[in-house]
Structure 1
């Protein structure tokens, strides 16, 4: 493997890196302290301590993340989980220590991607690469504000895995969701680096750093940049991110689930609800209109087998709002096909 000299890449792209400061009002922070915990701290005065942490505008820093500028007009990419809290304010600090109030233009309903806007002009930008063209062993660089303290922390490594899937929560007190198609790297990524870029040897962003596995070393993940490029395109065309919705909940079938539930096949997606509030088929959705029912098994999408390696969501990634998807379904001992017109996910 040829040795990469990162010095020029870092010098060129560092000006387009940003830190994102997450703040809340003193009143909102006080409301979030569980009352049952207060008796555990008889010698502390939480209100006084919070007041000491409050800035001149009555705000308290509660977190931080990273991001990068992709348009000279102030468009910034970061992770959705960095800006997930609607009650927080977000301040962007550029590499020259200027501060800007951030406006959230869009949050991707599926991917861990968010698009922000600041009012700066002629801002330095970093170029976006093609995450479909990456390969195992390719050298990469990660940049971010590690632990929310160490601005412009740089680490290098290689692409050590492709198309990885992990379960992660976008924010505290939110359900776990599966993130698919991730880039795995051994470049060191720490809390606070979330939303920073994963950069190739050409100085182009190929991913957005999104997750680490606590307790593991050299194991980090990034959202492929092509997902964010699609979101930027949607925002430019429609003023919002448009993602297709089928409208069913499912678990993937394998040999273990087949044996456990005595299913007729060892592949496909078993349509199954989680609770009364999370039904198997969302009322009024394309799946409902196509006549799908709970305990159906979706065997194929557009003539291709549905497997743990390629789930229904993976097929939807290849489709747009208003496209049709052909489903091969098994219900009991009967197999049939249904065509669904994909709606827009809200």
Structure 2
């Protein structure tokens, strides 16, 4: 039986679904490194991998395939149905049974999902809370005793550098759980098109050359010190070793967990605007009726910071916004007619 894995693959302009303390080595490369340095790097990779594989799980979707025999031109007879297992990856974010993965790994809520931990134990998924705005989902498993490990994440303001060494852990091809691959951060602030007809896209992705395959989706991208920097999400269909990960950080994870545990729902801050991510900030295209920014922000304003954190393609508005809870007050700094202005905004609420 052929098992399909989960990973988004990218064409030139089309997104197709197939089914973080940081460390920086400046300009060193393998050919320039002295034997002792290479050995030290090897030891760091081994140590990092050995201490993080237990935060990674398999996320298994059980589907059914029906096989028919053609009786006549307009009649087919069902021969048999077979169970098909589709496997992705997830990251344990709380020992209490909370796991983050990609939304596209658990997009069909009619399927039965199971989590398999590093020690081989299986747990049925009890709850799924999805956020398709950034292609993540939080799943919950019931456990009698706490899980052994949970991921560490980089701080919100911790720098991630192009050229920094990273490794990924996942379940490539749905056949090789806890596979470790090694590479660097090749780029930051990548924008990936979902639907060119509606100008839908994801912004702010890390690019990496660590080997990724279908089945890696939902797995961690990790610094050599063992901190999770992002969640593996997509690969380029037209290139080699071009993969992408959604940035994650400690503030985003803890805020999301607190909201879930308090409300049993995934609530997000709401601005009531549409905007375009640019290299200099988020340009407001539309302000909808009832928006919490009405009377303060205007169409054409460019949001350049939230609470003095700079907005750009590398640090998109949405990723900073999601580190806050609905109802919190945030200072928005904007550019309007070549003037810099600041406004406090009480964040609205939307339920996903």
**Same fold by TM-score greater than 0.5:** yes
Task: Name the CA shift for 1:158/1:42 in 2 (closer, same or farther; >3 Å).
Answer: farther
CA contact (8 A) 2:203 2:316 kept: no
Task: Name the CA shift for 1:239/1:329 in 2 (closer, same or farther; >3 Å).
Answer: same
Q: Which residue of 2 aligns with 1:284?
A: 290
Task: Between the two structures, name the one with larger relative contact order (CA 8 Å, sep ≥ 6).
Answer: 2
CA contact (8 A) 2:189 2:313 kept: no
3-state SS in 1 of match to 2:47 = helix
CA contact (8 A) 2:95 2:146 kept: yes
Task: Name the CA shift for 1:330/1:91 in 2 (closer, same or farther; >3 Å).
Answer: same
Q: Please give the per-residue CA displacement for 1:24-64, whole angstroms capped at 9, x wherever unaligned.
A: 467xx89xx9xxxx99x97995843xx3413xxxxx43x32
User: What is the alpha-carbon root mean square deviation over aligned residues?
Assistant: 4.1
By how many angstroms is 1:77 displaced?
1.8
1:215 aligns with 2:238: yes
Q: Which residue of 2 aligns with 1:234?
A: 259
Give the unaligned 5+ runs of structure 1: 55-59, 255-265, 272-279
Q: Which residue of 1 aligns with 2:138?
A: 115
3-state SS in 2 of match to 1:53 = strand
Q: Which residue of 1 aligns with 2:61?
A: 22
Task: Name the CA shift for 1:250/1:203 in 2 (closer, same or farther; >3 Å).
Answer: closer
By how many angstroms is 1:83 displaced?
1.4
CA contact (8 A) 1:164 1:181 kept: yes
3-state SS in 2 of match to 1:199 = strand
Task: Please identify which structure carries the higher strand content.
Answer: 2
By how many angstroms is 1:315 displaced?
6.6
Distance 2:320 2:99 in 1: 28
Give the unaligned 5+ runs of structure 2: 1-27, 29-36
By how many angstroms is 1:100 displaced?
1.4
Distance 2:222 2:255 in 1: 18
CA contact (8 A) 1:80 1:113 kept: yes
When normalised by structure 2's length, the TM-score is 0.69
1:11 aligns with 2:50: yes
When normalised by structure 1's length, the TM-score is 0.70
